[in-house]
């Protein structure tokens, strides 16, 4: 028997409920590898799956948790053996497939990545999908020419999970980081992560009639989208890139093509869910090398399985800062 957060849906009312329950191995879905989960985490998608579903959950009852890290307990795939440390993010685990908010998980071997040297399972979940996405964004900016020493790099939604890790990584590898937030009380937190300055969200929240403004940013990790992304595109330096990782400010993009045509600006889409294996290994290796562990620890909010229903509601309201790490065995 093992414990898991189980979300169920009432057939008549359509309302969902979430509670910690005991399950056995026979309840787990199909997969080649059974993992004894040690830590999981909380992302916005988890909040949707714990609560209203958000169209992500296909079948109930359901175990959410889009991230997990732990030790292989049993494997039918030669790539993994009992005792191996592994990490999993993406592949719609926790949405269409039972996820990591449990003490056991059974998954496809193709979805796993060996835990990189230099990280333990707790640190891996302090990184999680949010930090993995942040590193993918940083690598994409580097692949398109970003190097230290230029104009500042902008990070929007900087107090959130992706933004927090992006701020810490970019600062650690030598960039001057300008962190955007609508929560002025987070200034000390963001500067502790390495931000050189904090930009109030109001300064970038509205579109302007001019398609181009002064060249200000050498790169940007954008978790907001919407009007802010449109505004930022007109402020990028010549040939600079924006890595788009989220849509907290909306999915619409009220922009013009002028920044692309007159300044050669690049808009790079970042998807963490279906990333190929080799790029996953590359990103996790970079995380272990370039993310300062002391700054990572400063982001961590510890929690347990029983805390998840409340935390799921909080993250949907934008009330979660940094990275929630779930000790599934606590």
Tell me: pLDDT of 206 over 90.
no
Separation CA 263–CA 265 (nearest Å) = 5
Q: Do strands 217-222 and 236-244 pair parallel, antiparallel, or not at all (unpaired)?
A: parallel
In this prediction, residue 208 has a pLDDT band, given cuts at 50, 70 and 90, of: confident
Cα pseudo-dihedral 113, 117, 120, 121, rounded to 10 = 0
> Residue 14: what pLDDT?
86
| Side-chain half-sphere exposure of 322, counting CA atoms within 13 A | 18
- In tens, the pLDDT along 154-194 reads 999 999 889 999 999 999 999 999 999 998 999 999 999 99
CATH classification code of 129-269: 3.40.50.720
Tell me: pLDDT of 207 over 80.
no
CATH number of 2-115+296-327: 3.90.180.10, 3.30.70.360, 3.30.2320.30, 3.30.465.10?
Answer: 3.90.180.10
- In tens, the pLDDT along 233-259 reads 999 999 999 999 999 889 999 999 999
Lowest mean pLDDT among 50-59, 254-263, 269-278: 50-59
Whether residue 117 contacts residue 134, with contact meaning beta carbons closer than 8 Å, is answered with no
Q: What rounded mean pLDDT belongs to the chain?
A: 95
Ordered by start, the domain boundaries in the chain are: 2-115+296-327, 129-269
DSSP, collapsed to helix, strand or coil, labels residue 209 as coil
pTM: 0.93
Find the helix or strand (DSSP H, E) in which 125 lies: helix 121-143
> Residue 7: what pLDDT?
96
Q: Which residue has the tokens 């300064």?
A: 203
Tell me: pLDDT of 52 over 90.
no
* 2-115+296-327 and 129-269: identical CATH topology: no
DSSP per position, 162-198: HHHHHHHHHHHTT--EEEEES-GGGHHHHHHHT-SEE
């Amino acid at each position: 028997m093992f414990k898991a957060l189980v979300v169920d849906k009432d057939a008549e009312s359509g309302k969902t409920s979430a509670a910690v329950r005991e399950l056995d191995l026979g309840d787990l879905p199909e997969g080649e590898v059974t993992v004894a989960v040690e830590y999981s985490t909380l992302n916005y998608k988890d909040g949707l799956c714990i609560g209203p579903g958000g169209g992500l959950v296909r079948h109930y009852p359901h175990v959410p948790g889009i991230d997990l890290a732990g030790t292989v307990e049993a494997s039918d795939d030669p790539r993994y053996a009992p005792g191996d440390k592994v990490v999993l993010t993406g592949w719609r685990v926790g949405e269409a497939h039972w996820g990591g908010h449990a003490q056991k998980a059974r998954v496809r071997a193709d979805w796993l990545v060996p835990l990189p040297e230099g990280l333990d399972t707790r640190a891996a979940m302090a990184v999680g999908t949010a930090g993995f996405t942040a590193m993918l964004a940083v690598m994409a900016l580097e692949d398109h020419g970003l190097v230290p020493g230029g104009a500042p790099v902008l990070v929007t939604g900087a107090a959130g999970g992706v933004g927090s890790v992006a701020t810490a990584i970019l600062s650690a590898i030598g960039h001057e980081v300008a962190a955007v937030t609508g929560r002025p009380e987070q200034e000390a937190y963001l500067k502790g992560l390495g931000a050189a300055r904090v930009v109030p969200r109001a300064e970038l929240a509205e579109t302007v009639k001019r398609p181009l403004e002064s060249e200000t940013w050498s790169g940007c990790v954008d978790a907001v989208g919407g009007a802010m992304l449109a505004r930022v595109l007109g402020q990028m330096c010549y040939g600079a890139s924006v890595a788009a990782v989220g849509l907290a400010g909306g999915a619409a993009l009220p922009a013009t093509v002028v920044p692309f045509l007159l300044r050669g600006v690049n808009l790079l889409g970042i998807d963490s869910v279906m990333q190929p294996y080799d790029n996953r290994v590359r990103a996790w290796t970079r995380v272990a090398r370039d993310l300062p562990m002391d700054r990572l620890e400063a982001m961590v909010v510890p929690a347990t399985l029983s805390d998840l229903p409340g935390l799921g509601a909080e993250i949907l309201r934008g009330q979660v800062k940094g990275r929630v790490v779930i000790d599934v065995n606590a």
